[in-house]
Amino acid sequence: MTKIDPLTFSITDYTAGNSGTYTYSDFTGLQRSLRSPRGTWERVFVRCSATPQDKWGQIYWDITTPSNSLVTIYGKSADTEAGLASATQVTIARIPPATPPKDLPTVFSDARVYLGKYLDIRVVMEQSTDGQSPVFVNLYTTYYCY
């Protein structure tokens, strides 16, 4: 448990089991940042596949990276959800410096990796050296059905 004096900003750490110590939650986020400086978010997107002309479009995100925190967006793709397990992963964007949007067909083509019906997106967020965490608000993809 950590106590932060709001006047002096001094930090006092207490170990579990000390008599007289009690905590309800980690409102400051300090304990989380000490124990988990990295976080992930993952989602599988599915596009239509009625015709050979159906294709992925772009990927957009709303992510803020304070200080020198970092966010990396990875993707892998296959024609079946089961095929994602053995699909090759590509780096879609590193934030900073990348800005949205990124064209998914171009990213996968440049990496010489197949882009199928299923798209597994994994976002890895790493806090800065001074303990500031990225803020992940939103991420979405577009696709075209013909």
Q: What is the pLDDT of residues 85-111, one digit of tens each?
A: 999 999 999 999 999 999 999 999 999
**Region 37-144: CATH code:** 2.60.120
DSSP state of 105: H
Q: Give me the amino acid identity at 123.
A: V
- Give CA–CA dist 122/4, Å, rounded: 34
Residue ranges of the chain assigned to CATH 2.60.120: 37-144
Q: Check: CB of residue 114 under 8 Å from CB of residue 121.
A: no
pTM as predicted: 0.77
Residue 90: how many CB atoms within 10 A of its CB?
A: 18
- List pLDDT tens digits, range 9-27: 788 877 666 556 555 566 5
